[in-house]
Structure 1
């Protein structure tokens, strides 16, 4: 297990799920960037599977809460980005297997 701060953040992100898809948001490829500033403020850039995602109001706040709970994180902000648009090629091999895409 990766015990670096970024590794612990990724582990926390792997506990966040879109309830419509049985794969966590990290493996789903929704996390585009994690930036940890010298003051341990974390900026997460993420997307959603579609701009009309019914979880758009919930997921960013859940991500912020999970990242803030990681030891060593001072604060967190999530920015939703739409470029590049998400597509299934961003999913990990494990996520594709879980969803029967192989």
Structure 2
């Protein structure tokens, strides 16, 4: 769902005005990094949620580190959480390492949960 120009990150604005957006966000919040007791959305691992007119969902995400032991599994977990949602036709989850994840990407809720506030 995303077009990458060489050398540029795949990040685009999310489809926040789409009727399915909040439901997709909630589904992303049901997925946790097994090493951190905070969901991937509040951790800031989800960069873009792109939903087109056909209700096809593209999710661009990262992980806390390239060597993350669940790197091969996490995109599938996210797709499995989003795909069964009513109205969703298809889900594509892509990993990117640009920009790299940083603690500043966490929500206030995540910072509070992890004791950083």
Residue 64 (structure 1) aligned to one of 41, 63, 79: 79
TM-score by length of 1: 0.94
Residue 48 (structure 1) aligned to one of 40, 63, 66: 63
Q: Are residue 6 (structure 1) and residue 6 (structure 2) matched?
A: no
Q: Which runs of 4+ in 1 moved over 4 A?
A: none
Q: Secondary structure at the match of 2:92?
A: strand
Alignment of 1:5-44 (within 5 A): 5-44=20-59
TM-score by length of 2: 0.83
**CA RMSD of the aligned region, Å?**
0.7
Q: Secondary structure at the match of 1:34?
A: strand
Which runs of 5 or more residues in structure 2 are unaligned?
1-18
